[in-house]
């Protein structure tokens, strides 16, 4: 089952962010936000490697770049990867009602919390997203573990 | 029941951040993080009014300012206000095990999610924190509603 056209464009924008981050040596997770009309209003990617900001996951970066809006409750967010517990919380705080998830094969976030709050989740099972994450995790497993909050081995 | 000395110093640092934000015309919520030795390693405050970043709650700002650390699981965070669902998720992602909460009178966040994950919560019931929040909410109710994700009235 494919995405509709504007959802696909939004996920493509999220993937472009992920690819940009990968090309910069960063964690390849991106996100993009569209308003009720389908217009893309913001995008962003994980910034851990680029800026040292541990809160700058792809979804947080996209929300940050969206600035102050009063229509979050009408927006759709696309993210290349199943959102972690922080990004889940941020989506719930902003009351984003629809989230397109590129893939949930390399990481399963806190989707149950989104579902229980009534957020609509659309799974794209996008192989580009899977391949990019797998490539990064193979190259930099320690950075990936850091990003998902796994403490260092003693 | 009072806080121990280093917890009190940490909450004082969080309160100083909240006061600084208030004096700048911003939302008066601050946070500070201490390492296992009790040394304060970072602090920050809500930046919605100052930078337009809707993800920059006090706790997120403090974590951002802490940079890349590998000892989050040994840190304590103090925040002047009961943490919202986004900041709760950020604390869970970073695996912060102890949180000192200045007050939960003007807002009750997602403390249940912290408790169910085994995070130790220490309630200070600090009247300075309550008074500062009440003052801000009275002056700028619309900014406060925006900060906690309440959509505008139709």
Contact A89 B94 (CB under 8 A): no
Q: Is the pLDDT of residue B64 over 70?
A: yes
Q: What is the mean pLDDT of residues B61-83?
A: 97
Contact B56 A63 (CB under 8 A): no
Q: Which chain B residue is nearest to residue A151, measuring alpha carbons? A: B70
8 A C-beta contact, residue B64 and residue A56: yes
DSSP B151: P
Region for residue A88 given its phi and psi (left: phi exceeds 0; alpha: psi -120 to 50; beta: otherwise): alpha
Q: In chain A, at which residue ranges do the beta strands (DSSP E only) sit? A: 30-34, 40-45, 76-81, 98-103, 120-123
Which whole-number Å values give the CA distances from A61 to A6, A111, B100, B118, in the listed order? 21, 19, 27, 28
The predicted pLDDT at position A7 comes to 98
Report the alpha-carbon distance of residue A147 to residue A85 in Å, rounded. Answer: 12
Annotated catalytic residues of B are 59
pTM: 0.97
Which member of B48, B52, B89 has the closest CB to residue A86?
A: B89
Candidates B57, B148, B55; CA nearest to A47 is: B55
Which whole-number Å values give the CA distances from A150 to A10, A140, B70, B94, B133, in the listed order? 30, 14, 9, 8, 35
Q: How many CB pairs below 8 A link A and B?
A: 91
Report the alpha-carbon distance of residue B134 to residue B119 in Å, rounded. Answer: 27
The predicted pLDDT at position B38 comes to 97
What the block records as the tokens of A14 is 């999220």
Q: Which chain B residue is nearest to residue A96, measuring alpha carbons? A: B149
Q: Is the pLDDT of residue A37 over 60?
A: yes
pLDDT band with cut points at 50, 70 and 90 for residue B1:
low
pLDDT band with cut points at 50, 70 and 90 for residue A2:
confident
Which member of A52, A68, A86 has the closest CB to residue B67?
A: A52
Half-sphere exposure of A31 (CA within 13 A, CB side): 30
Q: Which of B86, B118, B143 to mutate to test the interface with A (most CBs of A within 10 A)?
A: B86
Q: Is the pLDDT of residue A58 over 60?
A: yes
What backbone torsions phi and psi does residue A95 show, to the nearest 5 degrees? 60, 40
A59 assigned to active site: yes
Candidates A7, A54, A68, A62; CA nearest to A30 is: A62
CB atoms within 10 A of CB B48: 20
Q: Is the pLDDT of residue A1 over 70?
A: no
Candidates A78, A142, A144, A84; CA nearest to A113 is: A84
Q: Which chain A residue is nearest to residue B84, measuring alpha carbons? A: A93
Q: Which chain B residue is nearest to residue A49, measuring alpha carbons? A: B68
For residue A101, list its beta bridge partners: A79, A123
What the block records as the tokens of B119 is 């995070």
Contact A89 B72 (CB under 8 A): no
Helix (H) or strand (E) holding A66: helix A58-66
Q: Is the pLDDT of residue B154 over 80?
A: no
Going by their DSSP bridges, the two strands B30-34 and B40-45 should be labelled as antiparallel
DSSP A76: E
Contact B90 A55 (CB under 8 A): yes
Q: What is the mean pLDDT of residues A8-36?
A: 98
Enumerate chain B positions whose Cβ falls within 8 A of a Cβ in A.
48, 52-56, 60, 63-64, 66-70, 72-73, 84-90, 92-95, 110, 146, 148-149, 151-152
Going by their DSSP bridges, the two strands A76-81 and A30-34 should be labelled as antiparallel
Contact A92 B70 (CB under 8 A): no
Alpha helices (runs of H) in chain B, residue ranges in sequence order: 5-23, 48-51, 58-66, 85-94, 111-116, 127-139, 141-147
Contact B55 A86 (CB under 8 A): no
């Amino acid at each position: 089952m494919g995405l509709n056209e504007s959802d696909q464009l939004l996920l493509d924008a999220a993937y472009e962010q992920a690819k940009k981050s990968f090309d910069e040596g960063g964690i390849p997770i991106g996100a993009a936000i569209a308003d009720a009309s389908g217009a893309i209003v913001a995008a962003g990617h994980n910034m851990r490697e680029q800026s040292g900001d541990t809160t700058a996951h792809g979804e947080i970066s996209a929300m940050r770049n969206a600035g102050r809006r009063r229509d979050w409750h009408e927006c759709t967010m696309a993210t290349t990867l199943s959102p972690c517990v922080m990004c889940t919380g941020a989506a719930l705080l902003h009351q984003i009602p629809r989230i397109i998830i590129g893939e949930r094969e390399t990481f399963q976030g806190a989707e149950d919390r989104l579902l229980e709050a009534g957020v609509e989740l659309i799974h794209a099972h996008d192989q580009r997203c899977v391949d990019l994450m797998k490539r990064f995790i193979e190259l930099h497993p320690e950075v990936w573990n850091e990003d998902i909050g796994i403490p260092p081995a003693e």
